[in-house]
Chain A
Amino acid sequence: MNAPDPILRVAGLSASIDGQQVVEQVDFEVPATGVTAVLGRNGVGKTSTLKAVLGLISRSGVVEFDGARIDGEPTHRIVQRGIGYVPEDREVFASLTVAENLRLAERGTTPNRGMVDELFPDLIARSAQRAGSLSGGQQQMLSLARVLMNDNRLLMVDEPTKGLAPRIVTEVAAALERAAAVTPVLLVEQNLPVVRRLAHTVVVIEGGRVIHAGPAAELLDDDERTQQLLGVHSTDHGAPRGGTDHGAPKGDTDRSAPTGADESREETP
């Protein structure tokens, strides 16, 4: 039986920011189901790869979405094809209310409110609140809710658990798992326990190039290989190691999976 066509195919993708090459000849595919995680040490070009796919930064190469070339299209048209983008650092509109942030994200005349209402009741209760006054976790929920409002055919989610408390990480992972049940997800994530929970496929980037692609379990079950590619042990849940922060806390907030300690702590906005 043939494998289904990928929903996203990237070939020879290169990108630059202010003249500096940040993505170099990247090739990978995103299957039409499940979660594909993009992994790599800090600063290797994971976020830039997502931005390049969307045309948010200057790029060259081939990007096919559902069999159609999109690399010559402007960002808004690519998104209108059915790609939902959750950026790193949430990027909610701080001066707008929660309701206005959601309304802005509505693409069709019949937004899909059902999943948003179900997954984020606390957010809906804060409709009139300015997004800038929400906690970091609430802002992340809002950023996710914005893409779940529409019937997307691919979600691109960039570090959704970054800087969040363990309890919120669990909630975000659950929401993503729910979304991934109906829509394929391309996920950039530093938290390996979350990757292990969600991802079926991984793509590892190093120096702007893909250096490994394959099943998530195969890589994460091989501690030595994980250590070699990512600089951390695949079983790491805690302290930071070396030049990457996979599965490790950063700053003053804990991004690792719940360990039972300090679960009530709230994250910083």
Chain B
Amino acid sequence: MSTVLLLLITGLGLGALYFLVASGLSLIYGLMGVLNFAHGSFLTLGAFLGWEVARRMPDGSWLTFGVSILVGAVVGATVATLTELLLIRPLYLRHIEQVLVTVGLSLATVALFEGIWGVDPIYVVGPEWLNDTTDIAGALIPNDRFVLIAAAVIVLLGLVVFLKRTRYGLIIRAGVENRAMVTALGVDVRRAFTLVFAIGGAAAGIGGVLASHYFGYVSPLIGGSLLIFAFIVTVIGGLGSLTGAAIASVVVAVLQQFANFYLGGTGDFMVVALLAVVLLVKPTGLLGSKA
């Protein structure tokens, strides 16, 4: 029982990380039709600059931890905004070129990060409590899982409130459904594009800092490795569906954890198998309307 609980909560924690990356990916694709392969770079840069700020502050304090998350969010949002304005917008509606640009940016930034910070992992230090465990029904759960889950829930709730309660949220929801009709109502949808990139980048930046604490290190490849699963989550959840991304994040991560433990380390294989099944049975994903 304690093993099941440990796997479940660890899966939820990993799912929280997937969601922080996938939420932006899903909204960006849903609204703009752009598969953003540079999303992992937003995450990585957020993690590196979060660590850079944190190492200049008192080790292991909650303030340091909080500031590094804030830095990750700001860096992610800023870089994503610049990417949209400088690289994506000039290629408006040219989806293949947009994808190629994001692939190129992803490769170039990894090389840049390796040039600046080296190829070896850099170990990060967080508040002591994150390294402790909490006993729940006999299962010793690492505390960082709770932080990850809490962060993802806060981001999810924030996004839901934003999408439901604000005019830009309304524009984004409508644009995911029918972008051309939104412009035909006199709405400049390009501003929503920039905003969606910024929000996605902020979530990825937060995910980057939290991922560095979850894995215990930051490296130039940390974003790319998470991005693969985030893409899978996005497709399984349904492109453009935030709720779908949230559900799929949990399903994928929990399946991964259980398969790794009970089925001889086949977690990644099972996730890909699940992706294949979803694409065969429901190509639009769990809650998506676009194949």
Binding site for B on A (CB under 8 A): 54, 56, 74-77, 79-80, 85, 87, 91, 93-96, 100, 103-105, 107, 146, 150
Contacts and interface: CB of A to CB of B under 8 A. Distances in A.
Interface in B181-200: 181-189
B187 A93 contact: no
Contacts of B107: none
Nearest to A82: B186
Contact of B186 (A79, A91, A100, A103): A79
Interface stretch (B141-149, B170-178, B221-229): B170-178
A93 B180 contact: no
B175 to A, nearest CB: 9
Contacts of A79: 183-186
Given A95-B177, A96-B170, A54 B186 contact: no
8 contacts: A74-B188, A77-B188, A79-B185, A96-B170, A96-B174, A96-B177, A104-B187, A107-B186
Contacts of A76: 183, 186-189
A235 B118 CA distance: 81
Contact of A75 (B167, B174, B177, B184): B184
Contact of A54 (B170, B174, B184): B184
Most B CB contacts (10 A, CB to CB) among A74, A93, A100 go to: A93
Given A76-B188, A100-B170, A93 B177 contact: yes
A94 B177 CA distance: 8
Given A75-B180, A96-B173, A104-B170, 14 more contacts: A54-B184, A56-B180, A76-B186, A76-B188, A77-B188, A87-B184, A93-B174, A93-B177, A93-B181, A95-B173, A96-B177, A103-B170, A104-B185, A150-B186
B183 A75 contact: yes
Most buried by B among A54, A94, A105, A150: A105
Contacts of A105: 185-186
A117 B251 CA distance: 46
**A76, A77, A95: residue with the most chain B Cβ atoms closer than 10 Å:** A76
Contacts of A94: 177
A104 B188 contact: no
Contacts of A107: 185-186
Contacts of A87: 181, 184
A104 B184 contact: no
A74 B174 CA distance: 19
A91 B181 contact: yes
Nearest to A152: B186
B186 A80 contact: yes
Contacts of B182: 104
A123 B134 CA distance: 54
Nearest to B176: A95
A95 B186 CA distance: 20
A93 B171 CA distance: 11
B5 to A, nearest CB: 37
Given A96-B170, A100-B170, A104-B174, A74 B183 contact: yes
Contacts of B174: 93, 96, 100, 104
Nearest to A103: B170
A76 to B, nearest CB: 5
Contacts of A103: 167, 170
A187 to B, nearest CB: 17
A82 B189 CA distance: 18
A95 B287 CA distance: 12
Given A54-B184, A79-B185, A80-B186, A104 B177 contact: no
Nearest to A132: B177
Give the interface centre of B167, B185, B189 by most chain A CB atoms within 10 Å: B185
A107 B184 CA distance: 12
Contacts of B181: 87, 91, 93
A85 B178 CA distance: 15
Contacts of B184: 54, 56, 75, 79, 85, 87
A104 B178 contact: no
Contacts of A77: 188
Contacts of B173: 93, 95-96, 100
B273 to A, nearest CB: 31
A85 B187 CA distance: 13
B112 to A, nearest CB: 34
Contacts of A150: 186
